[in-house]
Amino acid sequence: METHEDNWPEMQLTPIGVVKSEITTPMLTAGDSGLALQERMDKIREYHRKVQACVCELTVFPQWGELLDGIEGFSHVLVLYWPHLIDPERRTLRKVHPMGRKDLPRQGIFATCRPARPNPVLVSAVPLLECHQNTLKVKGLEAVDGSPIIDIKPYSASYYGAENATVPEWMAQLHRELNKELS
């Protein structure tokens, strides 16, 4: 099969805004690798509780403000952002233990939600609480303070929703463990 990687046009991303959040550090850092499993899960649960309660402001730069016209009619938006605090050298990782948990099998980066990836564009679907001029207030966005916003899209379940979606058992296990403590 022929590949076209040498024929692609130059790709360039331009931030359209910035995240203002009380979340100032990523969930797990390199220094967390020595934590015992229970400590790690406790830290992840605490972080997720903080993220779920956090109200963030998405400030869209003035030259892009009119692109928000009509967004207030949606209950949720997709926020695409760049994890600017990720060490660029970590973008070469190929396989990881999900959430750094050695009790789970190593997975290819594309099978995880890990932010350190070849093109670290992250996306979150979040409730839109308010829209005022060029600022959106959203709840539950995991982006850290100062993250560049790449794009904002309205969320439509009929467009983005996947019927009967499944996940591997290791991810279902992680969700059960997180949700058990968060509910």
Boundaries of every domain in the chain:
17-78+126-156+167-182
Contact 86, 164 (CB under 8 A): no
Residues in the chain: 183
Give the up-direction half-sphere exposure of residue 113: CA atoms within 13 A in the CB hemisphere: 12
What pLDDT is attached to residue 101?
81
Mean pLDDT of 143-165: 91
- Model pTM score: 0.85
Distance of CA 180 to the CA centre of its chain: 21
> Residue 181: pLDDT above 70?
no
Both tokens of 117, joined, read 């990836």
What pLDDT is attached to residue 83?
92
- The Cα 124–Cα 115 span in angstroms is 12
> Residue 145: pLDDT above 90?
yes
- pLDDT band for 126, please (50, 70, 90 cuts): very high
- pLDDT band for 31, please (50, 70, 90 cuts): very low
Q: Which run of H or E residues covers position 55? A: strand 55-60
Give the up-direction half-sphere exposure of residue 162: CA atoms within 13 A in the CB hemisphere: 4
Residue 2 CB coordination number (10 Å) = 4
What pLDDT is attached to residue 34?
52
Q: What phi and psi values does residue 165 have, to the nearest 5 degrees?
A: -65, 145
| Domain 17-78+126-156+167-182 CATH (choose: 2.40.440.10, 3.40.50.12780, 2.40.30.70, 2.40.50.140) | 2.40.30.70
> Residue 32: pLDDT above 70?
no
- The Cα 46–Cα 27 span in angstroms is 10
What pLDDT is attached to residue 33?
56
What pLDDT is attached to residue 75?
96
What pLDDT is attached to residue 4?
66
Distance of CA 97 to the CA centre of its chain: 18
Q: What is the average pLDDT score of the chain?
A: 87
Instruction: Find the helix packing angle between 37-53 and 169-182, rounded to 10°.
Output: 70
Mean pLDDT of 178-182: 68
Contact 60, 153 (CB under 8 A): no
